[in-house]
Amino acid sequence: MKTKNANKMNLTRRTFLAASTCWGASLVMGAGKESSATRKPIKLAVSSYSYWHFRSPKVPIETVIDKAAALQVGGVDILHRQMEIPEKEPLDSAGRVYLRKLKRHAFVNGIDLICLSTHQSFVSPKPEEVAQNVEHTKKCIEIAYELGAPCIRINTGRWNTVDFDTLMANRGVEPILAGHTEEEGFKWCIDGIQRCLAKAEECGVILALENHWGLARTPQGLLRILNAIPSSWLGALMDTGNFLENPYEGLKLIAPKTVFVQAKTYHGGGEWYTLELDYKRIAKILAEVNYAGYVSLEFEGKESADSGVSKSIAMLRNAFA
């Protein structure tokens, strides 16, 4: 009787240990699944540019905020030139009142103001022109600070040796200004951006340099500038539609330095060109560098903005799910 009970106890103990081992293994496997499942989801936003392609009349920023709320996205990326505020004058009290009204309107509608997309050019042999663009950028930093937006989009600028339509026909390539070199252009640009960094840090606003036309037309050009200015207040703005040649290779190169993403779509055909972009592939590129910020839609098609934006947001939700 004693032996029978002992054997029964051993069997029970072996069963418990085996079950415990399997349970422990399942916990480890489950932990791995949980860590991938708890990766921070991408947040979607809409650029106000999506509703206004530089054609009259301007679409008010308040209207874009309302539309973004109806689409249930998290934020709005404001195009500076679309605002009801003088572009080339100092920020005055009337301008600050306007900005505070926008900030309140966004808040009560559950929308974050996430970026101010600005225009400047540091590519000029004239020091006074570079200085003017530095001051303009500093003013834009103040505007972003007033709005509570944590970053501004900046550009390198370009040589301006051809008009924009010709630039697009040439796939973003333009001649260098006569008598000057590309090396000089990079020097002017790096110097101009560096002069804005103290203001950016003071206001807590990140400068997001876009892979736009000009010196940042290629990933190598963009990275040359970013690598020359090691600052936590400067990063890359990934525009998915601005690498016309080998886009995915370019996006992968700049992804590690990306702090903000603008996602182009072209329903109805693009204003200047159309790209067929695979956003699941782009989502994977961003996931590989653990990007967890905003992806802001820049609808640039000729279709009605309301339908084009709605289709685009649905597509991005699926791609980044």
Q: Is the dihedral of CA 103, 106, 112, 117 positive or negative?
A: negative
Instruction: Give yes or no for residue 13 having a pLDDT over 70.
Output: no
**Predicted confidence band of residue 40 (pLDDT cuts 50, 70, 90):** confident
Closest to 142 in 3D by CA, of 199, 89, 74: 199
Q: How far is CA 129 from CA 50, 124, 189, in A?
A: 30, 7, 12
Q: What are the strands, taking DSSP E only, across the chain? A: 43-47, 75-79, 112-117, 151-154, 206-210, 234-239, 258-265, 294-299
| Per-residue pLDDT reduced to its tens digit, 257-280 | 999 999 999 999 999 999 999 999
> What mean pLDDT, rounded, does the chain reach?
90
pLDDT at 41: 83
pLDDT at 39: 65
Q: Is 269 helix (H, G, I), strand (E, B) or coil?
A: coil
Residue type, 41: P
Instruction: Give yes or no for residue 250 having a pLDDT over 90.
Output: yes
| Per-residue pLDDT reduced to its tens digit, 154-191 | 999 999 999 999 999 988 999 999 999 999 999 999 99
Instruction: Give yes or no for residue 32 having a pLDDT over 80.
Output: no
Distance CA 276, CA 242 (A): 12
pTM of the model: 0.87
Of 2 and 253, the one with more pLDDT: 253
Q: How far is CA 42 from CA 116, 144, 317, in A?
A: 19, 22, 9
**Predicted confidence band of residue 87 (pLDDT cuts 50, 70, 90):** confident
Can you tell me the mean pLDDT for 184-209?
98
According to the 3-state scheme, what is the secondary structure of 169-215? HCCCCCCCCCCCCHHHHHHHHHHHHHCCHHHHHHHCCEEEEECCCHH
Distance CA 226, CA 211 (A): 11
Provide the 10 A C-beta neighbour count for residue 268. Answer: 16
